[in-house]
């Protein structure tokens, strides 16, 4: 047997009262279900009629992956696997709308090849990935919504608590963690190379509570902690990758970074007021229809007097608040 795929049962912990139930009693004996029984799985059909095949680069689940690195890695894996299996399985239509994925048709048309259901048993279920049809079965099972993409994903709450199985693919999980750590480390190196002033600008634009008086050590610790988070928990960038947003500002032209930080500080220090509509006011006067509009105006070479005036007003506000 060459490379193998593995789908395993999720062994859950039960308290004393739960141990009196059938599931608890089975758990005491090292089982998750009655020995010899299993769960039949069939390819999952999306609401739009397409099957989640595990070899469709245009699959909706890939587009819904929020982390850009994980999305990129999954797209590459699926694209390569699609090319491999289409070459090995010849004339079979493996497209997501193909009748091949409809097991129900196999009972009425014995002459046409159709996907077969997979019975998942208690413990570890192995798939010989050197056999094309077993590799294909593992492909659609690993993206099935009732099977956790990894045990860690189930622990993080990305799948329902009653999920019974997970994809035991340490190689993929380690590859994702490795690449994420690489990106974090590169971001930290990039941050280290910045001037103290730029570090504060980037930190503020990331939504961190950094002022002119915040020490360099405090700024570093805040940014370092943020970069190691999986996503922004709230605020303007909620759900996005901190490393991705950090790189957006770290690689920005110096003058544009300065203007973005200036506008943010002007709003923070009440030089300008940001209305719920997004419009920006100074007193009763509308300055811009939104932040992007104001930044574009200030970046125009013809409006340098306006930029210098805003810098002066912000400086005065800061001195008054000391």
Are 54 and 7 within 8 A, CB to CB? no
Q: Which helix (DSSP H) or strand (DSSP E) does residue 165 occupy?
A: strand 165-167
If asked whether residues 103 and 163 sit together in one domain, one would say: yes
- The predicted model gives 235-239 an average pLDDT of 86
Alpha carbon 271 to its chain centroid, in Å, reads 37
Look at residues 265, 208, 262 and name the one whose alpha carbon lies nearest to residue 232: 208
To the nearest 10°, report the CA torsion of 192, 193, 198, 203.
-30
- The answer, yes or no, to whether residue 279 has pLDDT greater than 90, is yes
CA angle 164, 165, 171 (to 5 degrees): 155
DSSP 23-77: HHHHHHTT-SS-TT-EEEE---B-TTS-B--S--TT-HHHHT--SHHHHHHHHHH
Long-range contacts of 302-310 (CB under 8 A, 24+ apart): 307/259, 307/262, 310/262, 310/266, 310/271
If asked whether residues 51 and 142 sit together in one domain, one would say: yes
Range of the domain at 51: 4-176
pLDDT per position as a tens digit, 86-130: 999 988 999 999 999 998 765 555 556 788 999 998 888 999 999
Q: Which of 133, 150, 176 is the last residue of a domain?
A: 176
- 27 domain-assigned: yes
**Helix, strand, coil shares of the chain as percentages rounded to 5?**
50, 10, 40
If asked whether residues 152 and 222 sit together in one domain, one would say: no
Residue 217's pLDDT is 95
Nearby residues of 137 by Cβ (< 8 Å), 6 or more positions away: 115, 116, 118, 127
If asked whether residues 14 and 86 sit together in one domain, one would say: yes
- 184 domain-assigned: no
pLDDT per position as a tens digit, 260-277: 999 999 999 999 999 999
If asked whether residues 145 and 253 sit together in one domain, one would say: no
If asked whether residues 123 and 21 sit together in one domain, one would say: yes
Could you tell me if residue 157 is left (phi over 0), alpha (psi between -120 and 50 degrees) or otherwise beta?
Answer: left
If asked whether residues 34 and 130 sit together in one domain, one would say: yes
pLDDT band for 180, please (50, 70, 90 cuts).
Answer: confident
Domain count, the chain: 2
If asked whether residues 130 and 169 sit together in one domain, one would say: yes
- The predicted model gives 35-54 an average pLDDT of 89
- 181 domain-assigned: no
Q: Rounded distance, CA 214 to CA 206, Å?
A: 15
- 146 domain-assigned: yes
- The answer, yes or no, to whether residue 233 has pLDDT greater than 60, is yes
Are 314 and 266 within 8 A, CB to CB? yes
pLDDT per position as a tens digit, 197-223: 999 999 999 999 999 999 999 999 999
Residue 243's pLDDT is 93
If asked whether residues 235 and 299 sit together in one domain, one would say: yes
- 210 domain-assigned: yes
If asked whether residues 134 and 204 sit together in one domain, one would say: no
If asked whether residues 123 and 52 sit together in one domain, one would say: yes
- 75 domain-assigned: yes
pLDDT per position as a tens digit, 305-316: 999 999 999 999
pLDDT band for 292, please (50, 70, 90 cuts).
Answer: very high
- 128 domain-assigned: yes
Residue 114's pLDDT is 84
Q: Which of 176, 209, 224 is the last residue of a domain?
A: 176
What are 210's two structure tokens?
Answer: 């950094």
pLDDT per position as a tens digit, 136-176: 999 999 999 999 988 888 888 889 888 989 998 777 667 77
Q: Rounded distance, CA 74 to CA 267, Å?
A: 40
Residue 14's pLDDT is 47
- The predicted model gives 233-249 an average pLDDT of 90
Alpha helices, H only, 193-253? 196-205, 216-227, 242-250
If asked whether residues 168 and 213 sit together in one domain, one would say: no
Q: Which of 113, 143, 176 is the last residue of a domain?
A: 176
């Amino acid at each position: 047997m060459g490379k193998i795929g593995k789908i395993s049962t999720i062994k859950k912990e039960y308290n004393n009262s739960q141990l009196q139930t059938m599931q608890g009693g089975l758990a005491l004996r090292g089982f998750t279900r009655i020995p010899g029984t299993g769960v039949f799985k069939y390819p999952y059909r999306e609401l739009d009629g397409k099957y989640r095949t595990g070899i469709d680069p245009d699959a909706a689940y890939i587009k819904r992956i929020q982390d850009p690195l994980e999305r990129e890695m999954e797209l590459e894996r699926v694209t390569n696997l699609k090319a491999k299996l289409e070459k090995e399985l010849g004339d079979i239509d493996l497209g997501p709308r193909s009748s091949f994925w409809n097991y129900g048709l196999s009972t009425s048309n014995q002459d046409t090849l159709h996907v077969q259901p997979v019975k998942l048993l208690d413990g570890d279920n192995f798939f010989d990935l050197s056999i094309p049809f077993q590799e294909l079965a593992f492909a659609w099972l690993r993206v099935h919504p009732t099977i956790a993409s990894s045990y860690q994903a189930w622990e993080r709450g990305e799948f329902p608590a009653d999920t019974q199985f997970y994809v035991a693919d340490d190689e993929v999980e380690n590859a994702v963690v490795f690449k994420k750590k690489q990106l974090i480390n590169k971001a930290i190196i990039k941050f280290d190379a910045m001037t103290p002033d730029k570090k504060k600008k980037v930190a503020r634009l990331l939504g961190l509570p950094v002022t002119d008086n915040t020490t360099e050590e405090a700024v570093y610790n805040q940014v370092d902690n943020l970069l190691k988070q999986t996503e922004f928990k709230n605020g303007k960038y909620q759900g996005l990758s901190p490393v991705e947003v950090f790189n957006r500002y770290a690689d920005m032209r110096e003058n544009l970074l300065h203007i973005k930080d200036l506008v943010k500080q002007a709003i923070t220090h009440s030089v300008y007021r940001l209305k719920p509509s997004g419009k920006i006011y100074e007193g009763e006067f509308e300055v811009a229809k939104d932040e992007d509009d104001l930044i574009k105006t200030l970046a125009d070479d013809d409006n340098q007097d306006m930029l210098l005036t805003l810098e002066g007003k912000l400086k005065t506000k800061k001195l008054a608040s000391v």
